[in-house]
């Protein structure tokens, strides 16, 4: 392959294609979808819920029945019914111990594509340093490189030969926040991303509030999500994919008989 970041321990790839490329290499993946899949998963697990990621173009309702979980509705419908949704602030202690199927075009899809990797974590601004710490520990055990996958957004109304991926500021900054705490050599792509975060750290909240994705959510009435997802290192939970669902990463996973041994 001509385009390759193989010489480096820490790499950066965009979107679904990037997730597939990293999965085919057998890397450790950190999926970053700040607004809002990754932040929703982090928030859900912080409150004790379990999340089953699933592509939105498959039958998620039937899948939820098979895994005995509740299928998460769209933001507006869930808000009317008082249910948790892709909105991270919709999760609270009341969902502790419950199972949910969460579908999204970006984060859930990238997770589904790369589910067979040695380790897959959900990272965001909320848990950036904790996600990096977990990835550093896992890499020592499984001896793999780490690829950060900012998921980006999807263009609507795609025409002709247009690409569907729309790179997003919030995911790039979230990826950079995690990269700033990762150990090992970093590809030029990863270094530039890390430097973007470091140079913007003091104004992260303002940048995400005013970026295209942030403005879109605000205009739809979800400004609280934007504020919540912009909180750097506010939570310590690190969602780790265990088979078909996310569970909190723990040190026990690194011990004899654990997931990463």
Task: Using the predicted structure, report yes or no on whether residue 19 has a pLDDT greater than 80.
Answer: yes
pLDDT in tens, 75-115: 888 888 889 999 999 999 999 999 999 999 999 999 999 99
Whether the CB-CB separation of 167 and 119 falls below 8 Å is answered with: no
| Cα–Cα distance for residue pair 59/48, rounded to 1 Å | 25
Distance of CA 174 to the CA centre of its chain: 9
161: confidence class by pLDDT, cuts 50, 70, 90 = confident
For the chain, give the percent of residues with pLDDT over 70.
99
223: confidence class by pLDDT, cuts 50, 70, 90 = very high
In our burial notation (b when 16+ CB lie closer than 10 A, e otherwise), range 112-139 reads bbbeebbbbbbbbbbbbbbbbbbbbebb
Please compute the mean of the pLDDT values over residues 165-172 and round it to a whole number: 96
CATH hierarchy code of domain 10-157+165-250: 3.90.1560.10
Task: Using the predicted structure, report yes or no on whether residue 180 has a pLDDT greater than 60.
Answer: yes
Element (H, E) at 50: strand 50-54
Of 5-9, 47-51, 238-242, least confident by mean pLDDT is 5-9
Distance of CA 206 to the CA centre of its chain: 21
Mean predicted lDDT score pLDDT of the chain: 95
What is the arrangement of strands in the sheet containing 245-248, beginning at the earlier edge strand? 10-12, 146-150, 28-32, 120-123, 239-242, 245-248, 50-54, 99-103, 70-71
2: confidence class by pLDDT, cuts 50, 70, 90 = low
pLDDT at 157: 86
Whether the CB-CB separation of 44 and 91 falls below 8 Å is answered with: yes
Eight-class DSSP state of 85: B
Residue 68, phi then psi, degrees to nearest 5: 60, 50
175: confidence class by pLDDT, cuts 50, 70, 90 = very high
122: confidence class by pLDDT, cuts 50, 70, 90 = very high
Residue-range domain boundaries for the chain = 10-157+165-250
C-alpha distances (whole Å) from 128 to each of 42, 80, 232 are: 11, 31, 7
pLDDT at 82: 87
């Amino acid at each position: 392959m001509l385009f390759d970041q193989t010489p480096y321990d820490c790499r950066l790839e965009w979107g679904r294609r990037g997730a597939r490329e990293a999965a085919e290499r057998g890397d450790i993946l950190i999926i970053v979808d700040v607004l809002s899949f990754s932040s929703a998963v982090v928030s859900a697990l912080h409150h004790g819920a379990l999340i089953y990621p699933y592509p939105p173009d498959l039958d998620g309702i039937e899948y939820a029945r098979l895994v005995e979980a509740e299928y998460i509705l769209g933001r507006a419908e869930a808000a009317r019914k008082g249910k948790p949704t892709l909105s991270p602030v919709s999760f609270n202690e009341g969902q502790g111990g419950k199972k949910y199927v969460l579908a999204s075009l970006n984060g859930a899809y990238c997770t589904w594509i790369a589910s067979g990797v040695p380790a897959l974590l959900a990272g965001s601004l909320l848990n950036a340093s904790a996600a990096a710490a977990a990835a550093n520990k896992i890499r020592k055990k499984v001896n793999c490189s780490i690829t950060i996958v900012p998921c980006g957004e999807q263009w609507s109304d795609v025409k002709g030969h247009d690409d569907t991926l729309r790179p997003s500021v919030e995911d790039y900054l979230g990826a950079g926040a995690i990269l700033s705490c990762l150990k090992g050599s970093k590809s030029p792509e990863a270094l530039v991303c890390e430097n973007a975060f470091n140079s913007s750290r003091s104004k992260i909240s303002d940048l995400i509030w005013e970026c295209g994705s942030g403005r879109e959510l605000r205009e739809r009435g979800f400004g609280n999500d934007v504020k919540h997802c912009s909180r750097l290192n506010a939570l310590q939970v690190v969602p780790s994919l265990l088979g078909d669902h996310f569970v909190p990463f723990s040190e026990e996973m690194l011990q004899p008989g654990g997931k990463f041994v």
